[in-house]
Chain A
């Protein structure tokens, strides 16, 4: 089936095929590693937030000047916001989840300073906090309104009851202990009772490996800077943003209203570099695959022209069109496979370099056959058209002089 003539033409000009095989090898190394990084980033961005972030608005306000009453202002603002039709719930909060800015603390299960505390994000909000973010309480109860206190500026004041996430509960007490009703201790060794467990919610810093560790206490110290978290009816977010901005702005002139914006936008900002990396690498892969395919097409077309006479002769001696097409496909397949074998080695080297230099996770081996499969398909597709043209060389060409 034409293996000999193909091999002899391959062997006659070795350098070209070797170069193409090398190119395929490097292409494979880049494509597989890039695909792997992309999948990591996409997975990271797709994690469940545990919140209804599509319908949440966040705004910062700041009072200034003499005689600005913070507690009054918080209560009036929340009442005002909730009087707007389409608002589901609203709370004051120290920070907004997923925003990249937050407060962190350490908790212990026993009042002993020498024990390493478990790190967690910390939120401070009202009894409407869970509803304002669409967070589901798995067990226990939410804060009572009377537990929510605004007027103590002391960071380390007594907090009788807290909510924690299941992830934090597991890390503190172990997976088979029910944390509900248990006591946790702050850095000050002040105790708090766990009154409710949140099944799942994400905290402040998307790059932190303890993103799901969250503790919430009721109320918030009364500072002049405040942040409101507001949930709207589904789909009403964008029309309510300007209304909230306007109403808050008009209601109190001793206060600056800053950045009324969707929580989704803040989360997108936190994931900006992951999204950027995924997009850049996708473009690189597209360019690379396009280039490699074009080069294969270009070289194959050129060879068809070069070998017109040889092909004509073979046709005249009885080779069918299918023979010729198969021959080109086989030649190409051999080069691609040689490249792929070398490429696997190179891919592992590059993956090793990234794993050791950058603490990236180890390459999932399943990407190797996937990448090779893509390259096989690609190079066969690329060579198909030139091969067809080769097959259409009429046998009579052999009899003509050039």
Chain B
């Protein structure tokens, strides 16, 4: 019976190729547009580290200007970064399962042999805890331990891409790199790792590729590493030496802590409060006590990682899909009404309403499937277009199985919604009515 229905569906499609083509096109365009925007939204709002997002926290403390809040529009917020000296002292105090201070810098890599030009590479300056905290995968070697953090040893972990460029992708652990006038030893190479959004640094860009390499936070002082990320200051301080810069009230360090469980959250904030209380005795932190920690998804929300444009487009594209569904219903209805004669003949020859209904639904399903498949192709094209327009990092734009199955689900659903009413209408045609006039 099903085979027969499919055969009938194709016959009916052949009889009215333009109408059918229009319906397929309507569904395809609707699915294409809405899936493109939905995918972008889904990738932007995704959880980059689902297994740990509730135990990783960004730390903020209100060290800002006693006269003015950090953010005029949201006066309740503390600065989103901390000062270098506060980060240093928090690291000493510990209290989390793991913790890391970090910022972005860039170093000049001098040529390894006699040939080649020096070039600048970007670095995340961070603590050894970064790698286990954020589940960073390694191909060769490993990160560094806390002893290295303390001794400010010049070691470096490379990304896969930089290792490819410098050492042709071979195991480079133990090799030396001359950077910013210092000798660094390569101790590890990480595998491809592009958390999307880049949750640990939405401040300098949630959709950027990870930096080329990682170096210990403790070498900041010894090598006088400058930040290439954002820094925010409020206090007028005379800064002529690097040490003065490190001790300034300028906030440019991001601080993350890993707790054993979300239950430890308030306990950690209490530690922060105790620390700030101590600083207040020294005349710093003149604003009211305002220390907060944000888990990964709260931190994404805080920085409005999902761009407004993406949300506007998502809303408009679902209205677009509605237009497509409406056109499909109108077209189907018209087409089915054109089949009045055929249907009443079938009914007169003994076909039940259910049989007629099934027949129409199979036809709708064929159209929906064709539209959905074409729509997936269009969505793929749409994503390429967005990739081109926005020049996004490779990790952002991809159609994963979740999106593919969502697309299929949405097209089947919209096909069903579009097909139900027209199919039901057709079933209401009485058996003989259409035969009488002929």
Contact = CB atoms under 8 A, between A and B. Distances in A.
B403 to A, nearest CB: 18
Interface residues of B, number: 57
Contacts, number: 146
A156 B33 CA distance: 52
B180 A64 contact: yes
Interface in A182-209: 186-189
B238 A114 contact: no
A24 B68 CA distance: 51
Nearest to A259: B120
Given A23-B330, A302-B334, A295 B26 contact: yes
B67 interface: yes
B315 interface: yes
B61 interface: no
Secondary structure dominating the interface of B: helix
A187 B68 contact: no
Interface in B366-398: 385-386, 389-391
A85 B391 CA distance: 35
B337 to A, nearest CB: 7
A294 B22 contact: yes
A154 B237 CA distance: 9
Interface string A1-34: 0000000000001011001101100110110011
B330 A256 contact: no
A166 B135 CA distance: 52
Contact of B236 (A188, A269, A299): A188
B389 A280 contact: yes
Interface string A56-74: 0000001011100000000
B240 interface: yes
B1 interface: no
Nearest to A37: B312
A357 B316 CA distance: 14
A394 to B, nearest CB: 22
A279 interface: yes
A258 interface: yes
A292 B327 contact: yes
Nearest to B323: A26
A350 to B, nearest CB: 7
Interface stretch (A47-55, A229-237, A283-291): A283-291
A30 B338 contact: no
Contacts of A156: 236-239
B119 to A, nearest CB: 6
Interface residues of A, number: 64
Contacts of A223: 226
Contact of A19 (B110, B181, B330): B330
Contacts of A276: 309, 386, 389-390
Contacts of A277: 309, 312-313
B330 A66 contact: no
Given A19-B329, A291-B25, A13 B320 contact: no
A353 interface: yes
Given A30-B320, A34-B316, A284-B316, A23 B391 contact: no
Contacts of A64: 108, 110, 118, 180-181
Given A26-B326, A256-B120, A287 B309 contact: no
Contacts of A279: 389
B81 interface: no
Contacts of B120: 62, 256, 258
A154 B238 contact: yes
A277 B308 CA distance: 11
Secondary structure dominating the interface of A: helix
A114 B65 CA distance: 11
Interface string B413-438: 00000000100010000000000001
B240 A153 contact: yes
A273 B207 CA distance: 13
A186 B108 CA distance: 34
B26 A302 contact: no
A149 B141 CA distance: 48
A399 interface: no
Interface string A146-168: 00000001111000000000000
A256 B108 contact: yes
Contact of A298 (B19, B239, B389): B19
B389 A275 contact: yes
A273 B307 contact: yes
A358 interface: yes
A317 interface: no
B333 interface: yes
B26 to A, nearest CB: 6
B150 interface: no
Nearest to B307: A273
A29 B318 CA distance: 12
B319 interface: yes
Interface of B: 18-19, 22, 25-26, 29, 33, 67-68, 108, 110, 117-120, 180-181, 226, 234-240, 307-309, 311-313, 315-317, 319-320, 322-324, 326-327, 329-331, 333-335, 337-338, 385-386, 389-391, 421, 425, 438
24 contacts: A19-B326, A23-B323, A23-B326, A26-B319, A26-B322, A26-B323, A37-B312, A62-B108, A154-B240, A188-B238, A256-B108, A256-B117, A256-B119, A258-B120, A272-B391, A279-B389, A284-B33, A299-B331, A301-B18, A302-B19, A302-B334, A302-B338, A354-B312, A358-B311
